[in-house]
Amino acid sequence: MPKAKSGVVYLVGAGPGDLDLITHRGFTLLGKADVVVYDHLVNPKLLDFAPNARHLFAGKRSDSHTLEQPEINRLLVREAKAGHAVVRLKGGDPYIFGRGAEEAEALQRARIPFEVVPGVTAAIGASTYAGIPLTHRDRASQVTFVTGHTKEDGFEAADLPRRGTLVVYMGIKALPQITKKLVRIGWSPRTPAATVQWATTPRQRTVRGTLSTIATLASKVSAPAVTIIGDVVDLERRLRWFEKKPLFGQKIVVTRSREQSSELARKFEALGAEVAVFSTIRIRPVRVKPIKIQGYTHVAFTSRTAVEYFFPNLAGDARSLAGTKVCAVGDQTARALIERGIKPDFVAAEFTSRSLARELSEQGMKGAHVFHPGANLMNPEFQKVLAKSGAKVTDLILYRIDKVAPENVEAVDDADWITFASSQTVRNFMEAVGNRPIRAKIACIGPITAKTVRQYGLKVAVIPKKFTFDALIQAIAKSI
């Protein structure tokens, strides 16, 4: 995205909530943006994909506006005239009740180049994730989108069709009046209806009823929500899939560093969980001289992060490891090596650094010289165990693990699960939460971490038989 002299604005549909529903074009533009102007319905995790941009919150809820629409229009024009590439990130689709056309008109009047990137609109996302097809050969051959919130704050029903599927946006407050008007123009009170709140997210909630009952049944539902009316709603019982995911409705706190948490979080989210990243540590690289591996009999990697920092600092390429036995702790560490074209010679059966040292010692390590790259907080047991077997260990600190104060301590209050992958994160976590009560179940990746948790007087609900993140996730799913 070359920076134009006058700048350019991209009106991008972010989809209804699920991170994966943004288009590839929208995702690409985020990575190249100078400025992102976003609404409150946009998944905030999308901003992580615009790390070099300024993030400007525009608000835009039905009951309050951080910025009024004319202010947003002026903001887009001003940023573009400053020569910036601006992504205007809008929930759903920019042109489906998103006021994207008004913004495009303002840009056109100001002679600002713009592009519109469509998105998955709320009606499509809500119906699909709720298991309700908007059209069906036997039930509905037409679908109508209508807003329950207009400029005049009225709902005009007279011109609407009397059959097919009707999807009402922004109508949750006016739903009693809307349903009465539809019955008045000829819709049957027994027509199936459903209201879907926070569609496509782990907070999704679907309330089913009929045209005569849905307003009462959904009286406690708040925005964002859409209401779907028509015979297709009856298919929800058979076709629902999203709310049947094994971890749907579960809020899981991940206590790894922000740099390490994304892959684990995505795996939990794929099973329907809501994930809160509770970072108590930060990983920072340490500048070192180019690593020369000659003279070492073994290289021992006791974390995936060690692998990631080792190879950029290696003098030469992977061929430098020829003749040196490469050892790894755990599937994740082994996989990181394989991704770099290195098949480990030895992977510990138990996935701890102490276990790796013990299993190597059992093979006979007298006279061996082990190179051990890692963090500033290495487990001293690794060197002690190997030293007893007659091996020499040379540690090299490639990265530091620093303690940081988490920004979202309140995330633990309504969590269903808290996950721990190391004793250090347990200690940092407990220091951060202080006297805050812990009501969530606790899952630990292994017995050493679990022991630390118990030292704080807490119970451990899950320890997987295999000490990997995939096994941890499956163990949590099976326990529900």
Q: Rounded distance, CA 356 to CA 347, Å? A: 8
- Together in a domain, 398 and 410: no
C-alpha to C-alpha distance for 203 and 43, rounded to whole angstroms:
12
Same domain, 346 and 415: no
Report mean pLDDT in 10-residue bins for the chain, 480 residues.
73 96 98 96 94 90 72 97 97 96 97 98 98 96 88 71 94 94 95 98 96 97 96 97 96 85 89 92 91 94 93 90 92 90 90 89 94 91 94 95 84 95 90 93 93 96 90 94
Of the listed 18, 39, 365, 378, which one is catalytic? 39
From first CA to last CA, the distance across the chain in angstroms is 46
Element (H, E) at 265: helix 258-270
Task: Report residue 59 CA to chain centroid gap.
Answer: 21
Order of strands, sheet of 192-197, starting from the edge strand that comes earlier in the sequence = 143-147, 165-169, 225-229, 192-197, 205-210
**Are 303 and 329 spatial neighbours (Cβ–Cβ below 8 Å)?**
yes
Would you state the structure tokens that stand for residue 165, as one six-digit string? Answer: 């599927």
Residues 398 and 459 in one domain: no
pLDDT given at position 65? 59
> Which pLDDT score is estimated for 4?
47
Q: Cα dihedral sign for 304, 305, 309, 312?
A: positive
Give the residue from 105, 120, 135 where a domain finishes. 120
Q: Which of 60, 90, 251, 441 is catalytic?
A: 60
Q: Which CATH number is 382's domain given?
A: 3.40.50.10090
Do 38 and 89 fall within a single domain?
yes
Alpha-carbon distance of 392 to 375, in angstroms, equals 19
Map residue 241 onto helix, strand or coil: coil
Q: Which two tokens stand for residue 296?
A: 């070492």
pLDDT of the residue at 62: 54
Known catalytic membership, residue 170: yes
Residue (of 106, 115, 122) closest to 11 by Cα position? 115
Q: Torsions phi, psi of 457, nearest 5?
A: 80, 20
> What tokens does 83 get?
């020569």
Whether residues 215 and 363 fall in one domain: no
Residue 79 belongs to some domain of the structure: yes
C-alpha distances out from residue 35 to 50, 94, 461, Å? 9, 18, 44
**Stretch (H or E) spanning 177:** helix 175-184
Check whether residue 290 and residue 397 sit in a common domain. yes
Domain assignment present for 159: yes
Helix (H), strand (E) at residue 206 = strand 205-210
Number of domains composing the chain: 4
Same domain, 323 and 391: yes
β-pair type (225-229, 192-197) = antiparallel
Are residues 310 and 396 located together in one domain of the fold?
Answer: yes
**356 lies in the same domain as 398:** yes
- What is the per-residue pLDDT for 61? 58
Domain span at residue 449 reads 251-280+404-479
What is the residue-wise DSSP string for 48-109?
A: GG-TTSEEEEEE--SS--SS-HHHHHHHHHHHHHTT-EEEEEESB-TTSSS-HHHHHHHHHH
Residue found by looking up tokens 């190597």 in the block = 360
CA 134 – CA 139 distance, rounded (Å): 9
Has residue 246 been placed in a domain? no
Active-site annotation holder among 18, 170, 365, 441? 170
Structure tokens at 61: 């809820």
- The dihedral built from the CA positions of residue 374, 376, 381 and 385, taken in this order, carries a sign that is positive
Known catalytic membership, residue 430 = no
DSSP 350-392: S-SHHHHHHHHHHH--TT-EEEEEEETT--HHHHHHHHHTT-E
Q: Is residue 147 part of a domain?
A: yes
Are 452 and 317 in the same domain? no
Catalytic, 60? Answer yes
